[in-house]
Amino acid sequence: MRRWFAGALLAGFALCPSLVGAQVISPIASSQLQNLATVKDEIKAYYANGSYDREVAEIESDATRYIDARVAAGVRKPAVVLDIDDTALLTLGYELEHDFAYDPASWNAYAAEHGFPAIGPTLALAKHAQAQGVAVFFVTGRRVSETDLTIKNLRDAGYTYVQLYLRPLQAQDHAASVVPFKSGERAEIEKAGYTVLETIGDQWSDLEGGHAERAYKLPNPMYFIP
């Protein structure tokens, strides 16, 4: 499923998709690096002081306005595509409990025992879109082995949707990036006759590959998924 810790913060530069896999040859002095504990404290404060909530609300408000404009224009079979983790559901509780570390076993155990709360602005957008006749689809990097757990997580958080797409097992899909899977599923939604108004995610890999009129990137300083 994932993942890299927010290496961009640790290395002192913003990691963008074009740099993934590139060799950084410029020398880095210790004075250029932030202390790991300081970075973690800054991330915790970002969530605790309301900065994350405000930023997400602003992004989702713009996304909602775009939906309304396209519906008013009479777009045919409108749809929105949402990622799940840290787009629709907030995994911060797990991150804090495990000090921003990750392993599949502990993550699945936490998801099964505690679940994850809805990210309020995303849930509001999804419900507003559905009230306007817009179909909601979820396309997630979670593997198909997590289907039942994912359905429960979404249901418990209050989401309904037309279809849920989970990534195939690693034996069938071992690509280094999730982009081919996610953009491919958006293409399939288009083939079914839908107009994908927007795709919303917390990773650049949620958005790349086209097959959506607009792409909205939510903040996530906790980890990176290629």
Average pLDDT over residues 145-153: 97
Q: Lowest-confidence range among 24-28, 35-39, 67-71, 220-224? A: 24-28
| Tokens found for residue 224 | 């990176």
Does residue 85 surpass a pLDDT of 90? Answer: yes
Residue with tokens 């069938």: 172
Contact indicator for 67, 195 with CB cutoff of 8 Å? no
DSSP 74-114: T-SSEEEEE--BTTTB--HHHHHHTTT---HHHHHHHHHHT
CB atoms within 10 A of CB 153: 23
Average per-residue pLDDT for the chain: 90
Contact indicator for 36, 10 with CB cutoff of 8 Å? yes
pLDDT of residue 100: 95
pLDDT of residue 10: 32
What is the percent of the chain with per-residue pLDDT over 90, rounded to a whole number? Answer: 81
pLDDT of residue 4: 47
Does residue 193 surpass a pLDDT of 60? Answer: yes
Which neighbouring-strand residues pair with 143? Answer: 167
Does residue 96 surpass a pLDDT of 70? Answer: yes
What is the percent of the chain with per-residue pLDDT over 70, rounded to a whole number? Answer: 87
Report the topology of domain 4-17+33-224.
Rossmann fold (3.40.50)
Please give the Cα distance from 208 to 17 (Å, whole number).
Answer: 9
pLDDT of residue 27: 62
Query: Could you state, in order of their start, the residue ranges of all structural domains in the chain?
Result: 4-17+33-224
The pTM of this model reads: 0.86
Backbone φ and ψ of 81, nearest 5°: -115, 125
Q: Give per-residue pLDDT as tens, 1-43.
A: 555 444 333 333 333 444 444 555 566 676 778 889 999 999 9
